[in-house]
Each structure stands twice: as C-alpha cells, then as structure tokens.
C-alpha cells in the first residue's frame, strides 16, 4: 500500500485502484471565473494565450495554486488541431472558422499535421507545467472527431448542428473520410502531449448528444475507437467525455477507455448500471449548482458521492465546464466538500 500511495491519487482512481478519498478536478478549471486568469487574459487574445507557452502554463498553474486540486488540465483549445490542418481560426468570442468543409475536395485539402511542428507551443506549455509542478498529474486533451467535424462543417458553433448531421446523411462516405483524417490528427496530437509529459488524456465529444444513438455509434464512437486504440500503447489513463450520449454508455464502457465522463443529466448509479461497472466514472455536478448557495453545493456533492458508492471508481468533476460567472469562493466550497466527504476506497 505504501508503494501505491506514491502514485498520485487521481491516476490511481483512473485505473480503478484503491484511493484514500475521491479525487477532484474540474473542466475549464483555468478560466474566466478566476480573477488571476482574467488578468493574464487581458494581455493577449484567446489564441495568443493558447500559443504562448509561458502564459498557457501560468493559467494552468492558477487553479492548482488556489485550490490544490488533484489534477491539472493543460490550457489549450479543442480547435487548435483544426487550425493546424489548414483552416483559419478566430475567436470572436466564440470560434469562427474562415472556411467550411462541404465537399470531398474540401476534405482532401485538409492536412494531417505533425503535432510537434504545428502545435509545438502546446508541448512546450506541458513541459513548463511539469517542470513547475511535477507532483500534480497533468491531463492532455483533444476534441473528438465528430465534434471537430461539426465545427468544420458548420463553420463555428450551432444550436442544432443540423448542417453537420445533414452532411453525414447526404455524404456518408465523405463524412467518414473526414472523420478518419480527424482521428489520425487527434491521435498524433494526444500522443505528442503524452510524450511531452501529460500523464492522462481526455477526449471531449461535446456535441455527441446531438446525435441519435445509432448515428453516434456510426459517426461518433467509431472514429473515437481509432484514437483509443492508438493511445493504448502509451499506457496512460484515457478519459472519454461524450456529453449527452447516455444511450451509448454500454458501448462506451467497452471502448477501451479507462474513465467515462458523465454529464449531470444521468445519475452516476444509473450510469454504473448501464456500463456494467466496467469503467471508472467521472462527474457529474451540474455547473449551475456552483451559482447557488454553498449549503446546496455541499448537499449536491454528498448526493453525487452517494450515487458513486459501490462502483469501480470515481473521479469527481462537473458535468461540463465551470461557468464564467461562478464565484471563486463557491469553487472553493466545492473542493472543500469533496475533500471532506469523498468516499474512502481502501482495501478491507
């Protein structure tokens, strides 16, 4: 047990190993709710922040310094690889892509970039963080193929992603070709992040919930499986967060991922039943709970911890990214509650 305790809590939990308490990190934990983040952000554009390793590492440090969370996630954006593939990207403040992918010729023009040459600033941010906080596990990340395809086809965000879905229905072969190219790009990007120092990775399929189960299995999970397979040789925990894809939890639990992120609309005890307790679960506090009174934050934390009991393992997180209007002290209350109430998972 002493030897195991040397391994960080978060990494042990991701592997379903015994832990002293439930570990905690939060999606978008480096963000606008923190005054120290806003101070750094005022110095540059959002993309400028992503592409300046010293600044990206600094904002990655910030929530760890303030809250002593159990893991950090490198500051970047899921659309960075899309820009590296040859599509001009801007944020105004939401992402805007200069060109839309609508034909096979458009797909053919996209390149599969060398991640070190085209996104080396991400790897340098990782090295700076690992040098500065070597004891804090660092998570690398990327967007899943369908989510990135949705941005490429729509040219930005959307309420329904109907054009992306139409593209899949009308041009399924071209859609699969695009998804394969995205899988290759994302795999290389995540492997480069691991080689630079990340000790776990998360794949964000933010728009998976816009698909039916059948469409998700075809256009969402299938290309994601290629990424998981490519990452397996790196022997780091793989987290998949397919927001809204509740119906596909049984299939996701057999994807090879070590951890499945669950959004706040599916209770963790139900998710455990759907996954057959094959994987560790991550989640799943509604981010809006942090906007309410601290007493309710504590109550909801206890509820989620109760739902997670008896499963293979649990990493506490929000069910999506922390909201910019969250008060820093409410985030602090969340951390305190999880650390105080977190389920002990130690050998009998």
- Which residues form the catalytic set? 28, 32, 41, 77, 151
Helical ranges in 110-155 per DSSP H: 115-118, 120-132, 145-154
Nearest CA to 41 out of 93, 96, 116, 98 is that of: 93
97 forms bridges with which residues in the sheet? 89
CA distances to 34, 63, 258 from 66, rounded to whole Å, are 10, 5, 28
Neighbours of 88 (CB within 10 A): 10
Q: How far apart are CA 207 and CA 225, in angstroms?
A: 17
Helical ranges in the chain per DSSP H: 2-5, 9-14, 35-41, 46-51, 53-67, 80-84, 104-109, 115-118, 120-132, 145-154, 162-170, 172-196, 213-215, 222-231, 249-252, 268-275, 294-308, 328-341
In which element (H, E) is residue 95 found? Answer: strand 95-97
Tell me if 347 sits within 8 A of 55, measured CB to CB.
no
Pull the structure tokens for residue 228. Answer: 């998981």
For the CA atoms of 308, 310, 313, 319, the dihedral, rounded to the nearest 10 degrees, stands at: -10
Burial of residue 112 (CB within 10 Å: 0-12, 13-18, 19+) is: middle
Pull the structure tokens for residue 123. Answer: 């790897």
């Amino acid at each position: 047990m002493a030897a195991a305790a040397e391994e960080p809590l978060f990494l042990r939990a991701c592997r379903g190993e015994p832990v002293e308490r439930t570990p905690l990190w939060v999606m978008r934990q480096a963000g606008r709710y923190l005054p120290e983040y806003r101070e750094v952000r005022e110095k540059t554009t959002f993309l400028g922040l992503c592409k300046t390793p010293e600044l990206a590492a600094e904002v990655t440090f910030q929530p760890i310094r303030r809250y002593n969370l159990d893991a950090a996630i490198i500051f970047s954006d899921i659309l960075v690889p899309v820009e590296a593939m040859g599509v001009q990207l801007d944020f105004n403040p939401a992402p805007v892509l200069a060109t839309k992918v609508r034909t096979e010729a458009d797909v053919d023009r996209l390149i599969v970039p060398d991640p070190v040459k085209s996104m080396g600033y991400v790897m340098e941010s990782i090295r700076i963080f690992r040098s500065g906080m070597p004891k804090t596990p660092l998570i690398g990340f990327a967007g899943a193929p369908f989510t990135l395809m949705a941005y490429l086809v729509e040219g930005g965000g959307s309420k329904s992603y109907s054009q992306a879905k139409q593209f899949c229905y009308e041009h399924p072969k071209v859609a699969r070709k695009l998804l394969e190219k995205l899988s290759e790009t994302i795999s290389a990007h995540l492997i480069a992040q691991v080689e630079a120092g990340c000790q776990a990775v998360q794949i964000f399929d933010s728009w998976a919930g816009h698909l039916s189960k059948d469409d998700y299995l075809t256009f969402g999970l299938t290309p994601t499986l290629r990424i998981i397979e490519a990452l397996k040789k790196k022997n780091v925990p793989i987290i998949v967060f397919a927001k809204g894809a509740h119906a596909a939890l049984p299939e996701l639990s057999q994807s090879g991922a070590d951890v499945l992120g669950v959004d706040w609309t599916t209770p963790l005890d139900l998710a455990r039943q759907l996954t057959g307790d094959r994987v560790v679960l991550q989640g799943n506090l509604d981010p809006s709970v942090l906007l309410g009174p601290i007493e309710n934050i504590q109550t909801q934390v206890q509820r989620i911890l109760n739902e997670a009991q008896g499963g293979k393992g649990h990493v506490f997180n929000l069910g999506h990214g922390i909201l910019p209007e969250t008060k820093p002290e409410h985030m602090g209350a969340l951390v305190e509650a999880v650390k105080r109430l977190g389920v002990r998972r130690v050998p009998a």
